[in-house]
Copies of this chain bind each other. A is one copy, B any other.
């Protein structure tokens, strides 16, 4: 059994870095606060006897030696970055849960056959730098290194520059090495487990997603003397697009999700009819065929709106796509068995969010462990979980990993 209090304490200590007034965390990828969080993890991992290595995407690997050092590693981990108004558990729970596994093995003097690695994956959130899971994507060969390093934030700063700046631009190659098995521990970020009063989610798959960037261009003009019929109001077009996206989500109930999360108005002046609007679209579904249908509906709808509002579609680009991800049956079985061993209530579940495990699954047998979060709320400063859930997830991770690390 892991030490639940120690894990909780480490989470609360880490949550001080980037703490927000409402009890959450703002630790955007590759900021000074992200560096502080990484530094703290590295110092803890070194104290636990791990060796640290950093790859070209800034992914941090803390390795605990195995009895057989030529055996492939069993990997776990998640991310340390957060949303602008993020919570104390999203991502970092999977990192510190992995560290707690190592600390527990140390407590009991257990040497595993396989080495164990705990990873921080760079920029999972996709908030400061789009898309999400960039660095685990490079690790898995989905993106090139050049693509990963060149992702830029709204100010034009690239991941490559920012990795250099915070001192986490490593030189070992990103990816291209075999892994025995991988697990990721995470809060559910949705309402299912809590609603059913279940402690452990055995994650069998993750739904697919597509992200888009859209730009409508109309014509800036004075809000006073410009008659309504002459207007080419880009924000009015965007307003219709936001409702279109919502209708697409509702039309493919109950599993589809569709969201406009980001929108920027130009010139954004009270008495100017907006001339240009940039916005993002995020659509998700567990079935790839439905996701493709949603894509077609989005494209058709945007074209109709642009024509009716006399706007130009200056951009309609899918910047991120992955098909629904099935996790490895053996790894899923290890998670289920571990939950059963402790007598935790559990159920199979499909992840609504994307996770580094989704990319890792392309190059290693992978699965995930979910625990509930309060009211199903995540990507919000009020995100919360009970110490009991946090401990239970750690125990399941420990035993799932042990099973694979000893074979």
Contacts and interface: CB of A to CB of B under 8 A. Distances in A.
Interface in A263-278: 263-275
Interface in A80-122: 83-85
A223 to B, nearest CB: 4
Contacts of A381: 220
B126 A270 contact: yes
Contact of A257 (B228, B257, B280, B353): B228
B250 A353 contact: no
How many copies of this chain sit in the oligomeric assembly? 2
B262 A265 contact: yes
B235 A127 contact: no
Contacts of A84: 267-269, 272
Interface residues of A, number: 74
Given A242-B236, A243-B240, A272-B83, A376 B267 contact: no
A192 to B, nearest CB: 8
Contacts of A352: 222, 224-226
B235 A267 contact: no
Nearest to A250: B228
A173 interface: no
A303 interface: no
Interface stretch (A59-67, A183-191, A386-394): A183-191
A132 interface: yes
Nearest to A377: B221
A16 to B, nearest CB: 20
A351 interface: yes
A353 B224 CA distance: 5
Interface in A251-269: 253-254, 256-269
A272 B127 contact: yes
10 contacts: A127-B270, A132-B271, A191-B227, A191-B230, A222-B352, A224-B354, A236-B242, A262-B268, A263-B263, A264-B268
Given A222-B377, A228-B258, 6 more contacts: A127-B272, A188-B225, A224-B282, A224-B353, A261-B271, A261-B272
